[in-house]
Each structure stands twice: as C-alpha cells, then as structure tokens.
A = this chain, B = another copy of it.
Amino acid sequence: MQFPSPLTLEETARFINAKFIGDADFTITGINEIHMVSTGDITFVDHPKYYNQALSSKASVVIINQEVDCPIGKSLLYHNDPFAAYTSLVRKFMPFVASTASVSPTAKIGEGTVIQPGVFIGNQAEIGKNCIIHSNVSIYDYTLIGDNVVIHANSVLGADAYYFQRKPEGYRKLESCGRVVIQDNVEIGALCSIDRGVSGDTVVGKGTKFDNHVQVGHDTKIGSNCLIGAHTAIAGVTCIEDDVIIWAKVAINKDLVIGKGAIILATSAIDKSLPGGITYFGSPAIEARKKWKELVMLRRLPELYSKL
C-alpha cells in the first residue's frame, strides 16, 4: 500500500513509539510485507530467522525487535512487537465510511462500532463495542454480538433453523425461537450464514475466526479460538470444542462432538464424533495418517491386480 501522504522516519517512530536509527527526515512512502516491498517502503520482521531477508530487502525502513547493525542506505525502528506496530500503521491509513443502515429502534449498538451501508439489524438485536459490521450484512431479531467483532459483507446471522416435519400434506416448520450469540473478538468472513437456535442458542466462542461462505446450523456451539475454513458447512446441534482447526470445504453432520484441538483437513466429511488433538482427513474422515495409507494402497491396486 502506498501511503496517501508520506510520513518521515521521526513521525513514524513517534506514532508507533519506537527508537529509530537513520535520517529523521527520511520520507516513508508506503508499507508492505517483506516479499512485496520496494524502495521507500517500511516493513517489519519479528523472528531472527528472517532478519537477513528483511535487512537485505528493498525496504528502506525495517521495524525489528532486536538492536542489530543498520545496513547502509536503510533505517531501523526498534520495537518489541513489530507485528503490532506494523498493523497500527496500516490501520492509521485505512479510512472507512460510517453510514446509515436499517436498524430496528429496539436494537442496541455499542460505542465505537461501525455499521456500514445496507446493513439490516432486527428487533432486540444487540451489538457490542468496537465492532465493524460491513455492508449488506443481515442480522435477524434477537441476535447478540459481543465486543471487537468483525462481520464481513453480506453475511447472514439468525436466519431460521432448517427444521421441518414431514406430513401427508407437505412439510411443517418448527418456528425458531432461539438466538445467534457471537462472543468477543470473533471475525466472520463474507457471505457466511449462522442460523438461530430452535429453542436454545447457536454460539460462536471468543476469538474464533471464520473464512468466507461458512454455514452453521441451528443450536450448534463452536468453542473459542477455532479457525473455520471457507465453504465449510456445520449442521445443527453439533459441538465444536475450543482450538479446533477446520480447513476449507469440510462438511460436519449434526449431533456430533469434535474434541478440543482436533484438526480437520480440507474437503473432509465428518459423520461421527471425533476425539480431540488428532488430525483427520477423508470422506468419511478418519485419522489423516490412516487415510494417506489407504490412498497409497489405492494407487498400488493396478500392480496388485497384475500380480493375480
């Protein structure tokens, strides 16, 4: 990213509260990650393994967490958390447009929260502090959102449970009266859907992050600090415990428990509960190392047939 208006080295040091080595009036013109930098840019490095790469890159200024020698023609900023310093610089230049949206008069919205255009917020919904709700998000009645939550554009929170009873004259619907509850520090990608509970709540725990196009069924509970990959579909009344990592395009059936710290590889399909702490793969999914053995054997079948 080019800076809309350049910053001097000294101004930058003051802004991120860092000690600097170099010409105080040197003009920084942009900010980029280490593999993308060009002359005039500031970048960051926070691991000794990458110090050399950063210090010999095209970046003019490097934020670093150790006092190393300053290469000729570069400037350094010493900071004990270069990632945080880098992020605060990016944020400084990220503009946003607070705007009107269709908000029920009975909804509550906390301080510092930004609601972008086209957002719909239903009756009795509550949104905490310092959230960003991006454009065209739909939030149904009674949804409860904590603090520091980001919801990306066009996601839908609180649509009705997919819960029908077959009758001779067609399907009858059980009306949902539960809620969606999103805890603090959650980030939800674009175009995700999280259905409300039929009677209880559908919950996404603290610090969990969703990629785009994720679907969560009614009354499902997702723990804290989980990662959920793009296009993953989680059915109703399932429990995903804390620290679970799910890669893209996974399907998880209803009424299951996925144990703490389990890892589910991309495109897997889960049809039974899984103990935590293990990596799974396949459709239906089994332990990943067993699945890989199966795949090797499958590939050796022609040889086997030719032997017989």
Interface centre among A33, A87, A235, A284 (most CB of B within 10 A): A33
Asked whether B217 lies within 8 Å of A215 as measured between CB atoms, the reply is no
Asked whether B99 lies within 8 Å of A102 as measured between CB atoms, the reply is yes
B residues near A102, Cβ cutoff 8 Å: 97, 99, 117-118, 135
Closest residue to A211 on the B side, CB-wise?
A: B162
CB distance from A172 to the nearest CB of B (A): 7
Asked whether A215 lies within 8 Å of B233 as measured between CB atoms, the reply is no
> Please, what's the 1-or-0 string for A114-145, where 1 marks a CB less than 8 Å from any CB in chain B?
00111010110000000000111010110000
Q: Which of B190, B193, B249, B284 contacts A193 (CB 8 A)?
A: B190
Is A72 located at the chain interface by the 8 A CB criterion?
A: no
For the complex, give the distance between the alpha carbons of A118 and B224 in Å.
32
CB distance from A141 to the nearest CB of B (A): 7
Q: Indicate how many identical chains form the complex.
A: 3
For the complex, give the distance between the alpha carbons of A118 and B155 in Å.
13
Is A12 located at the chain interface by the 8 A CB criterion?
A: no
Is A13 located at the chain interface by the 8 A CB criterion?
A: no
Among A21-29, A48-56, A272-280, A299-307, the one that faces the other chain is A299-307
Is A213 located at the chain interface by the 8 A CB criterion?
A: yes
> Please, what's the 1-or-0 string for A57-98, where 1 marks a CB less than 8 Å from any CB in chain B?
000000000000000000000000001100100110111110
B residues near A193, Cβ cutoff 8 Å: 189-191, 212-213
Asked whether B156 lies within 8 Å of A95 as measured between CB atoms, the reply is no
Asked whether B195 lies within 8 Å of A159 as measured between CB atoms, the reply is no
Interface centre among A31, A84, A159, A295 (most CB of B within 10 A): A159
**A residues neighboring B (CB under 8 Å):** 1, 31-33, 35-36, 83-84, 87, 90-91, 93-97, 99, 102, 104, 116-118, 120, 122-123, 134-136, 138, 140-141, 150, 152-156, 159-160, 162, 164-165, 170-178, 185, 187, 189-191, 193, 195, 198-200, 206-207, 209, 211-213, 215, 217, 224-225, 227, 230-231, 233, 235, 248-249, 251, 253, 266-267, 269, 271, 283-284, 293-295, 297-302, 304-305, 307-308
Q: A140-B153, A266-B271 are in contact. List 18 more A-B contacts (CB 8 A).
A: A1-B178, A33-B174, A83-B172, A84-B172, A94-B177, A97-B104, A116-B120, A120-B136, A134-B140, A135-B138, A138-B154, A162-B209, A171-B225, A211-B215, A231-B233, A231-B251, A266-B269, A293-B302
